């Protein structure tokens, strides 16, 4: 049973969910999950119930990995790990596994999550902030050509897309040491050269599936040198040798993510996904740039395609705006508590018509309130 539909699959009883995560999922994927909920393809039970050692689930996880490898063209010398604990757990797992020689790493600080990652790494070695946009409320990505990297770093860490602040890397550092990227909020939103990175990690709940699954893509030569204090559940070597089945994995989340991977493949892969995402983002940015009532927080060329924060001319109207959007079936537009304002997250499964409906309401709101 396929999950191909992307045009004309809109269920009019559903809202347009602009949440930063957990986020909107493809409706055809949800429909397939519903159809297989109590009986997965004739096996007589739900994926929620089956043993992770069963041949049925082994087929699910192996197909999910194969499809992810196809989507990202992952080289054969990289392992794919399906883990738990979210990206926040990887803030610890990365240094515990990659502090091999000097126990030093370089971090580029572009927001709350990269800052937290650096603070966690500092518990196990030296985490050096080599560049930061914090002095400008994280409103830009530092100029990569102006950054000095340390030759004694075991790795360099970046956060590819900043969910809270709405910035994203258009290019990545070229480093002599392994480049590590937290890609949680733009994973699978565009093609990516995996070979440029030593390690990529991402929570699934933005673009890749239900919450509960964390994916790690790691070059094989970086596995096997974990610090002695590394907990067994954070040791990449343990997970790799067990093919992500050392203990019970997040079975249902892996199943859901596998359906999303297949949906992406059926609909043109990541090149097509990026085209759709750019079209959606351009609709909203174009409106914001010409409006005298709403304004985008981030200036080009640092704008994210996934998370678009914006402000109203008068903060006193924020509550009314949110009331009107919710009444119109557009939810979760309130900005992060640390930044205020609004934020529209336009992940892969957000349809273009959702963004068009939002900008139409914004234009009407501006006409009435401006």
Could you give the residue numbers annotated as active site?
Answer: 113, 182, 206
What count of other Cβ atoms lies within 10 Å of the Cβ of residue 279?
13
End-to-end CA distance of the chain: 50
Contact between 349 and 23 under an 8 Å Cβ cutoff? The reply is yes
Sign of CA dihedral 186, 15, 259, 7: negative
Residues present in the chain in total: 370
State the Cα–Cα distance between residues 142 and 134, nearest whole angstrom.
Answer: 10
Contact in structure between 276 and 349 (CB atoms under 8 Å): no
> What is the residue-wise DSSP string for 88-137?
HHHHHHHHHHH--SSSEEEEEE-SHHHHHHHHHHTTTSEEEEEEE-GGGT
Q: Which residues pair with 312 in a beta bridge?
A: 294
Cis peptide before 22 (omega within 30 of 0): yes
Q: DSSP 3-state helix, strand, coil percentages of the chain (rounded to 5)?
A: 40, 15, 45
Q: Which of 289, 290, 365, 299 is nearest to 333 (CA)?
A: 365
- Measure the CA–CA gap between 94 and 181, rounded to whole angstroms: 10
- Pairing between strand 155-159 and 179-182? parallel
């Amino acid at each position: 049973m396929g999950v191909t539909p992307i045009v004309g699959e809109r269920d009019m009883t559903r809202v347009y969910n602009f949440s930063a995560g957990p986020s909107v999922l493809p409706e055809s994927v949800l429909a397939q999950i519903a159809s297989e909920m109590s009986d997965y393809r004739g096996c007589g039970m739900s994926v929620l119930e089956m043993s992770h050692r069963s041949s049925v689930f082994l087929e699910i996880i192996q197909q999910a990995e194969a499809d992810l490898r196809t989507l990202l063209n992952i080289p054969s010398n990289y392992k794919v790990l399906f883990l738990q604990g979210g990206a926040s757990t990887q803030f610890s797992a990365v240094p515990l596994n990659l502090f091999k020689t000097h126990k030093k790493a370089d971090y580029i600080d572009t927001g709350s999550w990269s800052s937290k990652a650096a603070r966690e790494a500092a518990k196990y070695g030296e985490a050096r902030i080599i560049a930061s946009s914090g002095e400008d409320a994280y409103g830009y990505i530092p100029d990569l050509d102006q950054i000095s990297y340390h030759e004694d770093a075991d790795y360099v860490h970046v956060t590819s897309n900043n969910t809270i602040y709405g910035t994203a890397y258009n290019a990545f550092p070229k480093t002599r040491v392994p480049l590590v990227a937290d890609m949680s909020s733009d994973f699978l939103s565009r093609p990516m050269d995996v070979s440029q990175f030593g390690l990529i990690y991402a929570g699934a709940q933005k673009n890749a599936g239900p919450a509960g699954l964390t994916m790690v893509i790691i070059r094989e030569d970086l596995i096997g040198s974990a610090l002695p204090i590394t907990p067994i559940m954070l040791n990449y070597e343990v997970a790799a040798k067990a093919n992500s089945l050392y203990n019970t994995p997040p079975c249902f989340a892996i199943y859901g993510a596998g359906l999303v991977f297949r949906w992406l493949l059926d609909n043109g892969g990541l090149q097509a996904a990026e085209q759709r995402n750019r079209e959606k983002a351009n609709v909203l940015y174009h409106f914001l740039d010409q409006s005298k009532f709403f304004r985008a927080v981030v200036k080009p060329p640092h704008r994210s395609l996934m998370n678009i924060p914006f402000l109203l001319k008068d903060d006193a109207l924020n509550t009314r705006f949110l009331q009107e959007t919710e009444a119109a079936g557009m939810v979760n537009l309130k900005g992060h508590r640390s930044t205020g304002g609004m934020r529209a997250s336009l992940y892969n499964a957000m349809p273009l018509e959702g963004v068009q409906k939002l900008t139409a309401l914004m234009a009407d709101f501006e006409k009435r309130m401006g």
